[in-house]
Structure 1
Amino acid sequence: MKLNELRDKEGAVHARKRVGRGIGSGLGKTSGRGVKGQKSRSGVAIKGFEGGQMPLYRRLPKRGFNNIFARDLNEVSVGRIQAAIDAKKLDPKETIDTAALVKAGVIRRAKDGVKVLGNGEITAKVTLDVAGASKSAVEKIEKAGGSVKLPEKAAQEA
């Protein structure tokens, strides 16, 4: 196969519909929109409109709220950290923080911090500087000879 022989699959590219171009085109006059009314015109905005009846989204009660102060944390298990150490992506001798986890590819991007969860096993002696950690994660890390450094507020909550 050569570059000049590359083609899309048959039927993958559709011809553009030219509406309102005469009766012979099949899409003339009303351009396939039927006759009159709101839907035949541009700028239709009737999603959820029920013909004057109280719409469903207004009949149902409001529930819950959105906490604007909630932190969006990356969750990382101790098993993932151990896998990154085994793959030589993380150095257990250095302090592992959010930037190190991003550089190693364990997390894609830093949000409001990292919370370490206790899934999996860890054998390396590591020092973690993170926003939060579950009790089981802290136990596993300390059992392996490591330590977890948490911010003041997170340490009080845990």
Structure 2
Amino acid sequence: MKLNELSPAEGSTKQRMRIGRGVGSGKGKTGGRGVKGQKARSGVAINGFEGGQMPIYMRLPKRGFTPRGQKTTSWVNLGRVAKAVEAGKLDPSNVTEETLVASGLVRNVRDGVRLLAKGDAPKNLNITVTGASKAAIEAVEKAGGKVTVTGAAKDTAAE
């Protein structure tokens, strides 16, 4: 076998359609572009064009700002954690982000999980998360548990 004798397997490649090469080719005359108009010409870029009317994306007000590199965290409330512990889905002695996903409390971790204070904390909860609100940490500690925050210091700030 020689390199100049190699060829692709039969049927694995297809010839490209050569347009604008005569009526007999099946893609001659207008070359599959229909008849006249802006779309028949070369260099068309009309996404969002509304026939000269001010486009909707320019008519609507722009609000807000999203910084680049912003972290998106999933969050879970203490009340939902307590329900999962009561239902036997979670072991309160060792709750991590992975066990929260496995129990169905959090769909995915993203850049971490943040614990929020809505609801009552279960007794003796030992939880490790990326961030937690001050109120959530206080509630867990009042119920005899412990919160370990693995994220940056700004994640622990109250909401």
Aligned to 2:70: 70
Distance 1:106 1:114 in 2: 11
- Conserved in 1, the CA contact under 8 Å of 2:75 and 2:115? yes
TM-score (norm 1): 0.62
Gaps of 5+ in 2: 1-34
| Percent of paired sites with the same residue | 48
After superposition, the Cα gap between the structure-2 partners of 1:104 and 1:51, relative to the gap in structure 1 and judged at 3 Å, is closer
Matched, 1:149 2:148: yes
Find the residue that maps to 1:48 and give its secondary structure.
coil
**Gapped runs of 5+ residues in structure 1?**
1-34
Q: Which residue of 2 aligns with 1:132?
A: 131
Kept in 1: contact 2:96–2:128 (CA 8 A)? yes
Aligned equivalents of 1:96, 1:76: Cα separation in 2? 12
- In the superposition, relative to structure 1, how do residues 52 and 152 fare at CA in structure 2: closer, same or farther (>3 Å)? closer
TM-score, normalised by the number of residues in structure 2: 0.62
**Per-residue Cα deviation, 1:88-109 (whole angstroms, up to 9, x for no partner):** 010112x211101111111122
Structure 2 residue matching 1:67: 3-state secondary structure: coil
What SS is found at the alignment partner of 2:152?
Answer: helix
Following TM superposition, by how much is the alpha carbon of 1:153 offset from its aligned partner in structure 2, in angstroms? Answer: 2.2
> What secondary structure, in the 3-state scheme, does the structure 2 residue paired with 1:149 have?
strand
TM-fit CA distance, 1:141? 0.5
